[in-house]
Amino acid sequence: MQPDEPLGLYVDVPVDATYSTYDIRLQDPNGKTIPLRSLSHAEAQKTQVVVVNPGKRAGNYVIVVSGLAEPGGIAASAKELARLQFTVEFTH
């Protein structure tokens, strides 16, 4: 991939009846967390496409999927359900 080129990733959320809302966040190689999407329980039952743009930063990234028991719940009370790791490398 080239720098500043967006990347689409397919994400299957581990759905659990306990959670009404799901958050998908991206953690960059420096540990910075960026919110990507918030999904309802119904949306989470379908494969989601999330678009990330690493800019010019190659390295290891992590998509973190968390569940919230109440819509609009506090992110600190979210339960992490999955971590999806991938590496971004640029071609010259």
Closest CA to 38 of 76, 75, 83, 86: 75
27: containing domain: 7-88
What pTM does this model have? 0.86
The percent helix, strand, coil of the chain (3-state, each to 5) is: 10, 50, 45
Residue 2 placed within a domain? no
DSSP state of 75: G
Mean pLDDT split into 10-residue runs, the chain, 92 residues: 89 92 95 94 95 92 91 68 94 76
Residue 71 placed within a domain? yes
3-state secondary structure of 49: strand
Q: In sequence order, what are the beta bridge partners of 80?
A: 66
Residue 1 placed within a domain? no
Q: State how many domains the chain has.
A: 1
Residue 76 placed within a domain? yes
Q: What pLDDT, on a 0 to 100 scale, did the predictor assign at position 78?
A: 82
Residue 43 placed within a domain? yes
Q: Pairing between strand 21-27 and 33-40?
A: antiparallel
